[in-house]
Amino acid sequence: MKDVVLLQDQKQSQVMSFDYELFVIGAGPGGLAAAERAAGYGVRVAIVEQEQVGGTCVVHGCIPEKLMTYAASFSQVFESADEYGWGKVSREFDWCQFMRARDRDINHLSQVHVQKLQKTGVELLKGHARFLDAHMVEIEGHRYTADKILIAVGAKAIKSNVPGMEYAITVRQMLELDQQPKHLAIIGSHHIAVKLAGIMNDLISKVTLVVSEDRILPGCDEDLRIAVQEDMTRLGVRIFCNTKVEKIERVENCLNLTLSGNSQPVTVETVVSIADRIPDLDGLDLEKAGVEVKQGAIAVDDYSRTTQATIFAVGDCTGRPPFTPVAIAAARAFADTEFGHQPRVVDYECVPYLVASNPEAATVGLTEAQAHEKLGEAVRCYRKKFQSLFDMRAESPEKTLLKLVVDSNSDRVLGAHMVGDCAAEILQMIALAMKAGVTKTNFDNTIGIHPSIGEEFFCMR
Q: Which residues are catalytic, by number? A: 450
Contact assessment for residue 209 and residue 240, using Cβ atoms and an 8 Å cutoff: yes
* Rounded distance between C-alpha atoms, residue 335 and residue 122, angstroms: 14
Which residues are paired to 23 by β-bridges?
46, 149
Those residues whose C-beta lies under 8 Å from the C-beta of residue 17, and which sit 6 or more positions away, are 145
Rounded-to-integer distance, Cα 414 and Cα 431, Å: 10
Pairing of strands 123-126, 45-49: parallel
The backbone torsions φ and ψ at residue 208, rounded to the nearest 5 degrees and listed phi first, read -120, 125
The identity of residue 77, as a single letter, is: V
Residue 264 CB neighbour total at 10 angstroms? 8
Do 313 and 304 contact (CB within 8 A), yes or no?
yes
Interatomic CA distance for residues 415 and 343, integer angstroms: 29
Using CA atoms, how far residue 256 sits from 188, 264, 314, 371, 373, in Å, is 17, 9, 40, 42, 42
